[in-house]
Structure 1
Amino acid sequence: GADVIVLLQVQNAGANFLERRLIEDLVLQRPCACRRRRKICHCYRPRKRSSWLFSRYTLGWKCGVHPDWTELNTCVDRVLDEDEGSPTKRRYFYITVLRDPVSRFRSEWRRFHQNRGWHGSRPHPHFCLDQPVSMPAPSVCFEGRRPGNITFAEFVSCSANPAINRQTHMLADHDLIDGCPQNDSAGLLLTKEDRDIVLLASAKKNLEHMAFFGLAEFPRLSESLFEATFKLKFRRRARPRKFLRGRSMGHSRTIPSPGEVEQVTAANSLDVELYNHAKEILFARFHKLSNTDPAVERESNSVDSEDDENWAEEEDFFDNL
């Protein structure tokens, strides 16, 4: 067939861990072949040179670094046509990983503060009724300053910081808010409050329509749902690396103060609502599956085990080595 899994990789949310699992640990008729020096992997169908996985390691950042839903939606088909040499009709199955908003935001802060390839956001092209629209230049946080000199309080307080509500922005359809005037009144753009409402509703809708999404804090549950959704199996369960977790706790995972948690939660209110919505959907899907599959029901006994690997925590550890 011509089915393609498209991995939308939200920064610091655990998608890198899932991507490695898909490439290295799935039971496949034709396993993915990786070139270590080039950091590229070919995940081809049997007897064909066509990819079944669209991700960073399989095709690189050909839609931009950490492309969001809007960018992927207009880019994936073109990139695959170019890679395979001819236009093909395909079915796309979008997947992603979300993470607790406070933990994810603090993780992105650490990456920014250490100046380890932090990526902001790219402005989307603005069109209204297929006509380009001029928009004011977006505000920029911390321009001309060294990341190491920025305090956490400054990072969370800059309203133009793209790390704020990152997960909502990554999943939303920005074509709904970018460019067109409000209520067809010339020059009257959507207010921030209206934009937030539209963005959150769009992100929830796109999440609900995704073939699969996982939560970094619930790896076993997420992997069981992936296997059931795509009728695939992992060779093994991801084993907890307790020595990593212990070292990670002392190396990079400082416990946030109640004030910091409150500040991050308030700033990322859209992500908090999106994540809570995602948890409801994930557990509803899991319980529906467990009612029909006894093996999955047995798996549910260890869903909240502290021995589970947290996809995002392992990423954090290696990021901070």
Structure 2
Amino acid sequence: MGYVYLNVSDAVLEQQKTLCQYRLDADRTIVVHMHIPKSGGTAFALALKSECICNKIPRPQKGYCRECPNVIPDASLPVTIFTQNLWTSQNYSFRPPYSANCRTFNASSRWFGFPKKNRTFTFYSQSRLTSGWPCGVHVSYARLRECCHRLELPGIKHVIVTLFRDPLARFVSEFFQVAYNRIDITSWDWCMRPEFPLSMTQFFGMPVSYPFQSRMTKLLSGSPVQTGAAGEDWTKPGVRDEALRRALGVVHSTEDFLFGLAEELDLTLELFQFVFRRTFKAPSTCHSHQNASGCGKVELGLHDLHGNPMSLNTEQERLFAENNREDRITYDTAARIFYERIEAMRSLQVLGSDLAINRRCASITSL
């Protein structure tokens, strides 16, 4: 497959190779479709936006995929990275790529971004708002993968990168998104504007809401990721269980799928640096309820918008547990694989450093 490994015939290393085979081959053209949830936008999406907009990377050509207006990568470039959900602001229809002005997050600011030296990757920014899915939410992994295969370009490897998020953290985050009117006005969610402001209990009682549609599981299973109307079919018996089985199969796939944890951004950055062989600056902390890790605090979900304690009745607690059981299994499975890969990555780095030291000592003694 052209992956880069250390030339070490160690039994432990052999067992861990499959966990870290994302080391990309510089001789091939790699297309990375990066799915950026809201929770990871602070660390990744704005950095990519800084790299793309401020350096005025040329707009890519439109592709020929029938399923979606994707972009055909330039085979002459070492790596082309497409991003989904790059701009997390309101949905401006038919907004062209790179038209926004990057005022705060730029390549020379004190915020995160990519170093100017030793650039080995070219980033092509493709926003979710300009990628052909007018619903304005995330595309599915399976649909992206199908679209990639339809391009049928020789010498091209496609890698989908995403971030997993704790189900409870996602629930609380979506509650604040709805409560503070940060959901786009064209959303098809059943929580309509006249119902604002609403407490978490009221939000919990909505027949269809964002967390109950299980974005995480549907992203992996390939189901249409939409708002509102899609949730009705999603609640049918057996649909979630079947989707979960497909999702777990994708999670265990190690050929074209790489993921991190939104609650472990530092470790995710470390893993991505190992995979893409470039340095990411550490993400800054956003002190608000919308930051990457703050939404995951359980105590946030036990208070309403006014800070008053609230509780859920027995039926609501049962429904909450039922609707999040599959997501919890998926997240726990992903977290276990993620930590295994971190451990394997570090073992590879340790073995590599030991090998380098031994070679250096051997060269010195031979003098």
Report the TM-score when normalising by structure 1.
Answer: 0.61
The residue number in structure 2 matching 1:237 is 282
Post-superposition Cα deviations, 1:266-287, rounded to whole Å, max 9, x if no partner, equal 4322211111111111111111
CA contact (8 A) 2:34 2:162 kept: yes
The residue number in structure 1 matching 2:349 is 293
The residue number in structure 1 matching 2:116 is none
The residue number in structure 1 matching 2:30 is 3
Kindly indicate whether residue 290 of structure 2 is the aligned counterpart of residue 255 of structure 1: no
The residue number in structure 2 matching 1:197 is 241
Q: Greater Rg, structure 1 or structure 2? A: 2
Please tell me the residue identity of whatever aligns with 1:20: L
CA contact (8 A) 2:260 2:268 kept: yes
- In the TM superposition, 1:3-152 aligns within 5 A as 3-10=30-37, 12-15=38-41, 17-22=43-48, 24=50, 32-34=51-53, 51-57=80-86, 58-61=125-128, 62-64=131-133, 65=136, 66-75=138-147, 88-89=153-154, 90-118=156-184, 141-142=190-191, 146-152=194-200
- Rounded to whole Å, the distance in 1 between the matches of 2:29 and 2:261 is 27
Please tell me the residue identity of whatever aligns with 1:277: T
- Rounded to whole Å, the distance in 2 between the matches of 1:154 and 1:231 is 47
1:161 is paired with a residue of what secondary structure? coil
Where does structure 1 lack aligned partners over 5 or more consecutive residues? 25-31, 82-86, 123-139, 176-188, 298-321
The residue number in structure 1 matching 2:263 is 217
CA contact (8 A) 2:170 2:211 kept: no
Q: How many residues were matched structurally?
A: 244
- Rounded to whole Å, the distance in 2 between the matches of 1:153 and 1:226 is 38
Evaluate the alpha carbon distance shift between residue 247 and residue 63 of structure 1 in structure 2; reply closer, same or farther with a 3 A threshold: closer
Q: How much has 1:290 moved relative to structure 2? A: 1.7
Post-superposition Cα deviations, 1:177-219, rounded to whole Å, max 9, x if no partner, equal xxxxxxxxxxxx9993321211111222223325321111111
Q: How much has 1:34 moved relative to structure 2? A: 0.8
Please tell me the residue identity of whatever aligns with 1:195: V
Report the TM-score when normalising by structure 2.
Answer: 0.54
- Rounded to whole Å, the distance in 1 between the matches of 2:195 and 2:144 is 29
Q: How much has 1:98 moved relative to structure 2? A: 1.3
- Rounded to whole Å, the distance in 1 between the matches of 2:237 and 2:207 is 13
- Rounded to whole Å, the distance in 2 between the matches of 1:172 and 1:46 is 29
Evaluate the alpha carbon distance shift between residue 247 and residue 160 of structure 1 in structure 2; reply closer, same or farther with a 3 A threshold: closer
2:161 is paired with a residue of what secondary structure? strand
The residue number in structure 1 matching 2:333 is 277
Evaluate the alpha carbon distance shift between residue 73 and residue 212 of structure 1 in structure 2; reply closer, same or farther with a 3 A threshold: closer
CA contact (8 A) 1:99 1:217 kept: yes
- Rounded to whole Å, the distance in 2 between the matches of 1:16 and 1:41 is 24
CA contact (8 A) 1:45 1:52 kept: no
* Bigger Cα displacement from structure 2, 90-99 vs 266-275: 266-275
CA contact (8 A) 2:167 2:327 kept: yes
2:300 is paired with a residue of what secondary structure? coil
- Rounded to whole Å, the distance in 1 between the matches of 2:148 and 2:175 is 29
- Rounded to whole Å, the distance in 2 between the matches of 1:275 and 1:98 is 7
CA contact (8 A) 1:211 1:229 kept: no
1:293 is paired with a residue of what secondary structure? helix
CA contact (8 A) 1:99 1:215 kept: yes
- Rounded to whole Å, the distance in 2 between the matches of 1:191 and 1:256 is 23
- Rounded to whole Å, the distance in 1 between the matches of 2:164 and 2:171 is 12
Please tell me the residue identity of whatever aligns with 1:272: R
1:59 is paired with a residue of what secondary structure? coil
The residue number in structure 2 matching 1:166 is 215
